[in-house]
Structure 1
Amino acid sequence: MIKVLEVIRQGHVGGGESHLLDLVMGFDTDLISPVVLSFTSGKMIDALRACGVKCYVIPTEKPFDMKVLNALKKLICDENIRLIHAHGSRAASNVLLLAGMLHIPLVYTVHGWSFHQDQPWLIRKLRAVSEKIICNRSKKVICVSANNKVSGEKEFGLKHAVVIENGINVRRFNPLLPFRDVRPELGIPPDDFIIGFIGRVTLQKAPLVFVESIALAHALDSRIKGLMVGEGEMDGEVAWYINDRHWGDIIYKVPFRSDIPEVLASINVFCLPSLWEGFSISLLEAMSMGKPLVVTPTDGTREVIKDRYNGLIVDYNNPNDLANRYYELLHDEPLRKKLGAAARLFVESRFDSCRVSKKVTDIYTGLFSH
């Protein structure tokens, strides 16, 4: 049995965290014994502990934080960790040095590169260099989309990388299940046409673009309103933006929730207006629930969404286009049904989370087979 330390930046339930939750729960416990480390607490940690998974929280919000090295070293030694799997660059940066010092193999999963085209040149370059260092010192790099792998190869000559697309629990995210109606507790009238935004409220997810698109769409048809589910560093800015424009009656905003299938069942359209993505778990969950989608063409999204076949694609930072697509979907029920059915069928046939756990287990065991 291989004892693996699964490391992630935060303990809230976002896309990468949902991926880790399903990954850990899908391991064959005769082969893999997972221990989870997060640098913040949250509902993902609570959920894993409730399932009997040993979890630790070592608080820090900084990359390459030397102040946590002693606590990390004690954890690794006390638990007799044989392999470290870091999910995301922030998590990897804080275990990279110790993995080398203790001669413990490091696996790195890229949930979208930390560099992207919208950044100032110097910041983008520094982040690319950071990613290169992490990848070069990892025994294996897992990219959650083929486009991420190509981007790494072009940017800094990424090697020894494999593509393992994210997966979800398609049995839990099944539109045929009898879900509880959460609209009453959220204060949403039954006749509202709800556009859902589910994820971290960060620059990456373009939450202000979403908010503005809802206001524009509501002006076209007063039935169109938005539901934002999540938390993040832009919470205050988003709240101020909504209050300053008096949009509180057309945008419902709630923190992270654990009942995401019920939330998805309550919305009419799912929107993912991100500026960059590796491979969005929230997107797959919405697809699995048979929801029509309005999305931007990020790396992972372009691999699963074909415009007007299983979703609608709009350009980045374009609230007007988003609003027009919501309006179109409201007034075209056959299109909604067509997109939703195609999305569900696509996910069901290709993205079961059990497949991900098996492929990651093969990587772990392969590192100790020689």
Structure 2
Amino acid sequence: MEATKKIRVLQTIRQGKIGGGESHVLDLVRYLDKGLFEPVVLSFTDGPMITSLAKLGVPAHVIHTEKAFDFKVWKKVKQFLKEQRVDIVHVHGTRANTNVLWAARSLGLPVIYTIHGWSFHDSLPAWNKKARILAEKFITRRTRLNITVSDSNHETGVREFGDFKSLVVKNGVNLEKFNRFGEYPDIKALYGIPAHHLVIGYIVRITEQKDPLGMLRAYARVCANFRDLTLLMIGEGDLKDAAVQLARDLGISDRVIFDNFRQDVPAVLNAVDIYCLPSLWEGFPIGVLEAMAMAKAVIASDVDGTREAVEHEVTGLLVPPKDEAALVAAIERLIHDRALRNTLQENAGRSVKANFDVRDMTHKIETVYQQMLAPL
């Protein structure tokens, strides 16, 4: 009896560094049913994700570009799709889409576009925001299916494009990896953090979107009232140097520990008491889900998909974006109120287990793949 042909799905993403979208891709290919699907990954830069994929036994390739709409690589992408005998192309993020869409469509391949947060936002100059809206409108109308990771992102697409359609599939978290009951190395001891210190975690790209400078200014105000605190800022990005300098200027360098991205995020989270994500905008923040899975008290901005992940006063605290006073008040409230902190932690752990298991997310996407190739 002839074996059923597996569906070859290309997952493509803009970079090999580990971020929210890249974690999503890693978990998706990890949990796809290998009896039905053969995943292949194309990234447009090298990085730790490529190494992680190799450990999973998933073929990963790099065609280097750091530009959107880089027509110089389009023919290479087309040749790559032919060589890989791809059945479905699943693109993650705007830049990857703009550099794969032409090649896939020219070969008659169905394209699924997962929007991990829109590329346009209010902090951009008006002309740039308008250009990005037009670009997103153009590419979303030329895919077979759009997937948004939050109801908020779907609603934004409808508001900006008019006839936008998408399937909402919210992100999930790997509960085997982010196991609140696991055993982890002592990260506090590794960084020389006193055992009695309460640790505030900021584990994310250090970019404008994540408002690292606002985080530091708020933390400095908290430090004026509380002694036994350490802020752990783990990440990289174009504001890293500015953040290090601001910590010096604020006189809190001895109470902030900076480090680059680590592969052992569960161990880092295990050392954290309060996780902060003061983003200006989000898709559906995987970092928040990871912190909640590890039963951490979360403080996050009341934006986009974040408010769909965190229920205010139940699984975490939400504060307005760019409101440092509100962030200070939320941090101080959780420092003072251990009972509330414990309640939020327990509720967060239960919520993620019930609602945001990456295996459930993967099953939904597997169904999409099968429907995509089903005969009419």
TM-score w.r.t. length of structure 2: 0.95
Structure 2 match to 1:146: 151
In 2, Cα distance between the equivalents of 1:156 and 1:187? 51
Residue type of the alignment partner of 2:150 = S
Structure 2 match to 1:310: 315
2:349 is the alignment partner of 1:352: no
Counterpart contact for 1:112–1:279, Cα < 8 Å:
yes
In 1, Cα distance between the equivalents of 2:180 and 2:29? 24
2:177 is the alignment partner of 1:172: yes
Structure 2 match to 1:37: 42
Deviation at 1:224, TM superposition (A): 2.4
Structure 1 match to 2:88: 83
Structure 2 match to 1:206: 211
Aligned length: 370
Structure 2 match to 1:157: 162
Structure 2 match to 1:219: 224
Structure 2 match to 1:241: 246
Say which structure, 1 or 2, has more relative contact order (CA 8 Å, 6+ apart): 1
Structure 1 match to 2:347: 342
2:127 is the alignment partner of 1:93: no
Alignment partner of 1:262: what SS? helix
Deviation at 1:158, TM superposition (A): 4.5
In 2, Cα distance between the equivalents of 1:156 and 1:180? 48
Counterpart contact for 2:147–2:169, Cα < 8 Å:
yes
- Which of 42, 45, 51 aligns to 1:46? It is 51
Deviation at 1:148, TM superposition (A): 0.8
Alignment partner of 1:316: what SS? coil
Counterpart contact for 1:214–1:224, Cα < 8 Å:
no
Structure 2 match to 1:137: 142
CA distances 1:103-133 after superposition (whole Å, capped 9, x unpaired): 2111000111111233332222111111111
Alignment partner of 1:308: what SS? coil
In 2, Cα distance between the equivalents of 1:30 and 1:49? 19
Residue type of the alignment partner of 1:332 = D
In 1, Cα distance between the equivalents of 2:192 and 2:22? 28
Structure 2 match to 1:331: 336
Counterpart contact for 1:297–1:314, Cα < 8 Å:
yes
- Return 339-348 or 150-159, whichever deviates more: 150-159
Alignment partner of 2:133: what SS? helix
Between the aligned residues of both structures, percent identity stands at 40
Residue type of the alignment partner of 2:169 = I
User: Which ranges of structure 2 fall in alignment gaps of 5 or more residues?
Assistant: 1-5
- Which of 253, 256, 260 aligns to 1:251? It is 256
Counterpart contact for 1:206–1:274, Cα < 8 Å:
yes
Structure 1 match to 2:129: 124
Deviation at 1:275, TM superposition (A): 0.5
Structure 2 match to 1:3: 8
Alignment partner of 1:346: what SS? helix
CA distances 1:242-265 after superposition (whole Å, capped 9, x unpaired): 344443211111111111111001
- Return 193-202 or 330-339, whichever deviates more: 193-202
TM-score w.r.t. length of structure 1: 0.96
